[in-house]
Structure 1
C-alpha cells in the first residue's frame, strides 16, 4: 500500500497490485514494481479515502500523457463516479472505471478496475484522483500496445506467434548470400532494465515531437505512425537517432557492425550517453534494434532477410549493373544488388489502405537509411500483401520494397571508349529467398510466397507490369529449413491476360560456377567455370574472369585477380575453366569484406556483339568456435563452460579479443584479450556465468583480431529454477 502523492487529507492509501496486474498484462517480465499495462485490458487497484463518498458526490480520475494533454486529442481522459466524472463529448480516447461489488463508499473504500481504451496513445501516464476539493497524483503508469486484445489494431490471434513475435527475447537473423545462408543468434533483450524508458525516449526524440509535441503524442495511438517514427529514429541520418550507418570497412573509431550480438548494448549506450548516436550499424543491426523497440512497445515484430536484394534508386523497377571489359563490376549510378538485406515486419491493421482488411497483417518497416520518405530516412510500413498483389500506390514506400524483391536486372559491359553493350538480362534473380526465424523453432522459415507469386509465372509477371505502371517517384525522397508457406503455392490464374514479358535472347550454352570444395578462410579457393554447349557447331570464345573483394551491399572493395583465355566450346560438350584464388592473394582484401565476387564475361568471337555474363558470390567459412556447457543449469547458481578455437590461418592473429554474451546468462558482455595466436595454435579456455533467467538460453562467443574479424560461435543451455 502507498499513499497518494500530494498535500491532502482525503486520500489515505492506494494499492496497485503491480505483480498481479503486470502478470495479467504480460509485462511482469519487464517489472514487478512499476505498473505497466496494455491498452484495452483492465487492471485492478484499490483506494482508501479518509472520508466517505456520499450520494451525489464525485470521485474523478484523470489520466494524462504528454506535456499538453487534451481530451480532444486522446491524451487526457476524465472518468470515475458521480456527476463531475463525465468525459468531454469530443473526447477521443475514454478510459473506463468499474467499481467492485466489494467496495464500500460509506467507508471510503474503493475497489475497482480501470481500462485504458484500445485506441489510447502508448506511453507514460500520470493518473490523478480528485474528491471534494482535494486532488492528488495516484500513480504513474505505462500503457503499451496489446496484441492480446481483439480491439487493438495490433491484435494477433495465434498464441505461439505472440510468444515468438512479442515475448521472445532471443532470435536468429539470416545473412550471407543466396548460395551461403547462415544464421546468427541475436539477443533482442526488449525486457532488460530501463528498456521501457529507452523506448519512450526514442519516441520523444523524434523530429515530429520537436515540431508539434501535442500531435506527436496523440498519434502514438496508431502503430502505423509509431512504426514510422521508430524506423526514422533507429538510424541517425537526419536526427539524433540510435545508430550511425557505416559501410566503408573502417570502424576504427567505433564498433564494427559484425561485432554486435545484442540490441540492449546499443540502446543502453545511446540512452546513457546523452542520446549520442552509437557507432556503427549495418542493415541487420538496424533491423534487430528496431525489432527490440517494437516488441517492447507491444507491436508483434519479426526480422526478415531478403537474399539478392535490389536497391532501386530511380523507382523504375530496373536495376542497371555495370562491368568493365574484363568482367569486373564497377559502380555507376545508384542502383545495386545487395547479397542480402534485412528489415523488420510489424503486425498491424491498415485502415488507411483498405477498408476490407486485405492489406492488414505484416508490414515492412525498415530503419536502414537507404532513401528518404517524407523528408526523412525511413521506410514503411508497407503492406506485404500489397507488395505481393502489386497494390503499391498507397502509404508508405511500397514501390521501393516491391523493387527490393521483384526488380529486373540488366548488366551492361562498359567499353574503353565509353560505349555500352547489354551483357545479361535477369528477371528472376532478385528476391531469391526471403527468410525469417520459424515460430518457436531454431529453423528458418521461408516467407517468399508472402511477397510474390512463383517467380517467372504469368501471375508474377502480370503483377510486375501492373506495378511498373504506377507512378512511384513521389513515395521516397546451414540448418533445417521450414516453410511457413510453400513458396509460390499460389501462381494465380494463368488464363488472365496481361503484358507479355520480353524474353532476352538465350545463349547457345549454359553457364555455371562449380566449387570444388567449401571455400574456407585461410585456404585457397578452388572452383571452375562450366559451359555446356547447346549448339551443333563449335564456338570460339574469349573468356574473361575477374575476382573482386566485395562488401555485402554490392560495393567493390578491391580487385583480387583477373585473367583471360581463348577457348573453343565443342558441339554439345562441356568446357571447364579452372579458377584458383590463392589465400595469399585474397587475404588482405577480404579482412573487411563479406564476399568474393567471381565474374565471367564471355565473348563469342564469331559475332563481336554476342557477349554473355555470369557471376558467383563466394562467402568464406570462418574457423569454428567450439563451445561446451552443461545441458542444464540452475538459476542463480554458478556454472561454467569451455571454449576451443584453433587459428587455421597462415599467419599470427594479433590483438585478439574474446567476447561472451547471452540473455539471462550475462548482464553485460564479458571480454578477454590475448596478445596473439600463432598459426595452428589453440585457445582452450574456461568461462563462468551465473544464470538469472529461466528457459532455453544461448551463449554467444565472438573472437576478433586484426586479421580475422568477428568470428561467432554459440551454444544452447537450459536454465531451470
Structure 2
C-alpha cells in the first residue's frame, strides 16, 4: 500500500453514531524534505528522531469534536508501547517522552493535522502507530500505520550530531565513495556505490538489526538499547561478517572463489544486501576488508550515523597483543611465512561519528569500527567503536579494542634474517606501520590524510646498523604492467676498513594481506666497498619475468640482504609496491551523468601494451543497476599495440551513483590483467 495515504482500520469500538477515522495522510513529501530522508524508502515513512513530523487524520460519519472526544496516539516498538495524549499547543514540552500537538485553528470539518515528536534518544527501528478516540463512555481504536525512526545528525542533542552541512552531505547523504588500495608508494582508488537509495536497502538494514543475536535473545532489551549509537555500531559491525551469526558476508582471502563472487568484482553494497535478504540470510560469498567496510558504511549511513571508509597502508595485524609485528627473511632475501603476525599492504575499516558518554569528552568524534573478522572482541568477531583520539593519545585501555587498533597503525616491525633455523640478523623499523592513513576528501575524489589524527610523530627510525654497515632499497617511479622494474640499492660502509660483501636480491609476488608466494626473480653478486664509501647498485627486472605471475594491480615484495664475507654480518631492507594495470578506457555517450530510464551507449576499449600477442582475449563489462548480467567481447589473438573494443547500452531505473566495471583477461595467463571502475551519476529527467 502507498505510504502516502493509508486506510485506517478500526480495531476496537464500532458505534456508528460516533466519529471514525477514515484515512491517514502521512504527508510523506513534506516530512521527507524536513527530515532529510528523500529517496530512502518507497514503502515506509522515514523520519529522524527528535524532530517533529506531521500527519493528517481524515474522518467519516461526522467530524471530530475536540470538546468531547480526546485523541490519544499510541506508539509501539515490538511489545513496548507509550501513550501520547494529543494536546492543543503552539509549543513543545521540554520532555524526553513522545509528545503530540494540534495547532489551534488547524482543525477542519473532516480532518485534523497532528504534529508528533519523538525523544532525541529514541531507538532506531520500525514503529507502529495506533489512534484512540476517547470519550467518557467509549474508546474507539484504529491502526494508523508504521514509520521508521533513524538517528538525527542534524539535531544538536543527538549523540551523532555533526555541525557542518558539507560533512552531512558527504558522510550521510552521499551514496558514492572511494576505496584507496594498493601500497603507499602507488596509491590507487576505486569508486564504491553505497546504494542507500536503492530499493530494499533501508529495509535490509532494519532486518539486519532484527536478526541479530541481541534481538533474537532479548527483543525488548535490544529495542531499548538501539537508541545508543555505540551499541548500534557494535551490533552492525558483528552482523556484517557471518562468523558468529546470520551475518551478511563470508570472508575469503585465498584459493578460488567458486560458488561466489571474487571480492575484487564487487562495486556496490546494494547488490550484496539484497542477495543476503533474498537468500533468507545466507552469507553472501565472498568479502575482503574493503567489501566488509563499504557494506558497514552503507548500513551506518542508512541508520543515520555519519560514516566514512578509511584505508591504512601497511596495517599491522598483531595476533599476540605485543604491539610488534615480526617478519622473517632467508639469508638470500626471500620473505618467509613463519610469523602469525602479518603486515597488510592496505587494510580498510570505517570511522563513525558519535559522542562517547561512556568515556571522557576528549574521546568524542570519529570512532574506528572494523567489521573484517580478524580477532574476537568480548567473544565475537567485531572491533570498535574505538576513539581515534584514544589511539593517538595511547589510551590503550579505552573501549573498544584500542590496543589492537593502535598496533594496526603504530606497531614496530622487527625483521629477522634466518639461516638454517638460526637468527643471523635483526632490524627494527618504527616508521613502516600506518605510514599513510587516508579517506575520500569532502566533495572531492582526492585523498585526505588522516595520519596525524592517529599518530604522534616518532623519534626515528631504522635500527639496522650494527658495526657500520647500512643498506637502503628504493624502487624507481611507479612501475606499470608491461614495463621493467628499476631499483637502486645504496650500501654504506661506515667502518674504517674495506669490505668484501655478497649482495642477494629477491622478488616475490604477494597478496595484500599475506606473506609472499615463491620467488619469480633472484640475483646475487660479490661487491667490494672501500672504507667510509657509499655505493649505489642498479638493477632491472624485465616485464617478461613477472607478466605471467602478476594479477591486476599485483603487489611485489623485493628484499636485499647484504652480507659481510669476513664478519658474517648481515643487513636487510625490503620494499613492497603495486604494479599499475594497463588502462581500460570507458567512454559514455554524452558524459558521465545520465538520465534515469533513458538508454545510453558506452564504448569500452583495451590496448595491448604488453610485450607479446595475447591469445583468448576477453573484455567484460558489468554494472549493478545499469546492466543486466555481464557482457563479454572475445578475440582469439590480440597483437602487441592492437586495440580491442566493445559497445554496450546502459540504463538506470533509480537515481544516485552507480559504478561500471570492466575487466580484461586472456588465456595465456590465469590472471585478470586489468580492471577499471567508472562512476556514473544518475539524474532525474
TM-score (norm 1): 0.85
| 2:661 corresponds to 1:661 | no
Per mean C-alpha deviation after superposition, the further-off stretch among 204-213 and 360-369 is 204-213
Deviation at 1:528, TM superposition (A): 3.4
Tell whether the 8 Å contact from 2:618 to 2:635 is kept in structure 1 after alignment. Answer: yes
Structure 1 equivalent of residue 92 of structure 2: none
Q: Secondary structure at the match of 2:363?
A: coil
Cα 1:673/1:274, change in 2 over 3 Å? farther
Q: Secondary structure at the match of 2:385?
A: strand
Structure 2 equivalent of residue 139 of structure 1: 145
| 2:113 corresponds to 1:111 | yes
Deviation at 1:720, TM superposition (A): 6.7
Unaligned stretches of 5+ in structure 1? 70-75, 84-91, 458-500
Deviation at 1:714, TM superposition (A): 2.5
Q: Secondary structure at the match of 2:6?
A: coil
Cα 1:219/1:620, change in 2 over 3 Å? same
Cα 1:667/1:156, change in 2 over 3 Å? farther
| Structure 2 counterpart of 1:455, from 453, 458, 469 | 458
| Structure 1 counterpart of 2:428, from 425, 428, 442 | 425
Per mean C-alpha deviation after superposition, the further-off stretch among 308-317 and 331-340 is 331-340
Structure 1 equivalent of residue 526 of structure 2: 566
| Structure 2 counterpart of 1:99, from 96, 99, 102 | 102
| Structure 2 counterpart of 1:626, from 582, 585, 598 | 585
Tell whether the 8 Å contact from 2:76 to 2:82 is kept in structure 1 after alignment. Answer: yes
Tell whether the 8 Å contact from 2:290 to 2:348 is kept in structure 1 after alignment. Answer: yes
Structure 2 equivalent of residue 581 of structure 1: 541
Tell whether the 8 Å contact from 1:234 to 1:289 is kept in structure 2 after alignment. Answer: yes
Q: Secondary structure at the match of 1:201?
A: helix
1:213-248, Cα deviation, whole Å (9 max, x unpaired): 221222111111111111111111222211111111
| Structure 1 counterpart of 2:599, from 638, 651, 658 | 638
| Structure 2 counterpart of 1:79, from 84, 98, 120 | 84
Q: Secondary structure at the match of 2:367?
A: strand
Tell whether the 8 Å contact from 1:309 to 1:340 is kept in structure 2 after alignment. Answer: yes
Cα 1:700/1:180, change in 2 over 3 Å? same
Deviation at 1:296, TM superposition (A): 1.0
Cα distance between partner residues in 1 of 2:352 and 2:42: 27
Tell whether the 8 Å contact from 1:48 to 1:110 is kept in structure 2 after alignment. Answer: yes
Tell whether the 8 Å contact from 1:57 to 1:82 is kept in structure 2 after alignment. Answer: no
Structure 2 equivalent of residue 38 of structure 1: 48
Deviation at 1:410, TM superposition (A): 0.7
| Structure 2 counterpart of 1:238, from 240, 244, 252 | 244
Structure 1 equivalent of residue 37 of structure 2: 27
Tell whether the 8 Å contact from 2:53 to 2:115 is kept in structure 1 after alignment. Answer: yes
Per mean C-alpha deviation after superposition, the further-off stretch among 141-150 and 246-255 is 246-255
Cα distance between partner residues in 1 of 2:348 and 2:157: 31
Cα distance between partner residues in 2 of 1:653 and 1:528: 35
Cα 1:226/1:546, change in 2 over 3 Å? same
Structure 2 equivalent of residue 374 of structure 1: 378
Deviation at 1:404, TM superposition (A): 0.6
Q: Secondary structure at the match of 2:488?
A: strand
Tell whether the 8 Å contact from 2:596 to 2:682 is kept in structure 1 after alignment. Answer: no
1:299-323, Cα deviation, whole Å (9 max, x unpaired): 1000000011111111121111111
Cα distance between partner residues in 2 of 1:188 and 1:713: 14
Deviation at 1:532, TM superposition (A): 4.0
Deviation at 1:686, TM superposition (A): 2.1
Tell whether the 8 Å contact from 2:581 to 2:673 is kept in structure 1 after alignment. Answer: no
Cα 1:440/1:288, change in 2 over 3 Å? same
Structure 1 equivalent of residue 71 of structure 2: 59
Cα 1:37/1:331, change in 2 over 3 Å? same
Cα distance between partner residues in 2 of 1:30 and 1:696: 14
Structure 2 equivalent of residue 595 of structure 1: 555
Cα distance between partner residues in 2 of 1:600 and 1:503: 16
Structure 1 equivalent of residue 173 of structure 2: 167
Cα 1:620/1:560, change in 2 over 3 Å? same
Structure 1 equivalent of residue 395 of structure 2: 391
| Structure 1 counterpart of 2:570, from 606, 611, 616 | 611
Cα distance between partner residues in 2 of 1:183 and 1:592: 13
Per mean C-alpha deviation after superposition, the further-off stretch among 564-573 and 337-346 is 564-573
Q: Aligned Cα RMSD in Å?
A: 2.7
Cα 1:420/1:382, change in 2 over 3 Å? same
Tell whether the 8 Å contact from 1:287 to 1:366 is kept in structure 2 after alignment. Answer: yes
**Count of residues in correspondence between the two structures:** 656
| Structure 2 counterpart of 1:674, from 634, 650, 656 | 634
Deviation at 1:507, TM superposition (A): 6.6
Cα distance between partner residues in 2 of 1:507 and 1:714: 53
| 2:507 corresponds to 1:547 | yes
1:271-322, Cα deviation, whole Å (9 max, x unpaired): 1112111111111111111111111111100000001111111112111111
Cα distance between partner residues in 1 of 2:43 and 2:410: 49
Cα distance between partner residues in 2 of 1:667 and 1:144: 32
Deviation at 1:716, TM superposition (A): 5.9
Per mean C-alpha deviation after superposition, the further-off stretch among 161-170 and 688-697 is 688-697
| Structure 1 counterpart of 2:285, from 274, 279, 282 | 279
Cα distance between partner residues in 2 of 1:213 and 1:667: 40
Tell whether the 8 Å contact from 2:185 to 2:478 is kept in structure 1 after alignment. Answer: no
| 2:126 corresponds to 1:124 | yes
Deviation at 1:660, TM superposition (A): 3.2
| 2:258 corresponds to 1:294 | no
| Structure 1 counterpart of 2:314, from 308, 311, 320 | 308
Deviation at 1:693, TM superposition (A): 6.0
Unaligned stretches of 5+ in structure 2? 89-94
Q: Secondary structure at the match of 1:621?
A: coil
Per mean C-alpha deviation after superposition, the further-off stretch among 149-158 and 632-641 is 632-641
Cα distance between partner residues in 2 of 1:509 and 1:502: 13
Cα distance between partner residues in 1 of 2:462 and 2:271: 50
Cα 1:81/1:667, change in 2 over 3 Å? farther
1:164-219, Cα deviation, whole Å (9 max, x unpaired): 00011111110101111111111111121001111011112222222222212221
Deviation at 1:423, TM superposition (A): 2.2
TM-score (norm 2): 0.89
Q: Secondary structure at the match of 1:372?
A: coil
Cα distance between partner residues in 2 of 1:669 and 1:101: 57
Cα 1:676/1:204, change in 2 over 3 Å? farther
Cα distance between partner residues in 2 of 1:333 and 1:254: 30
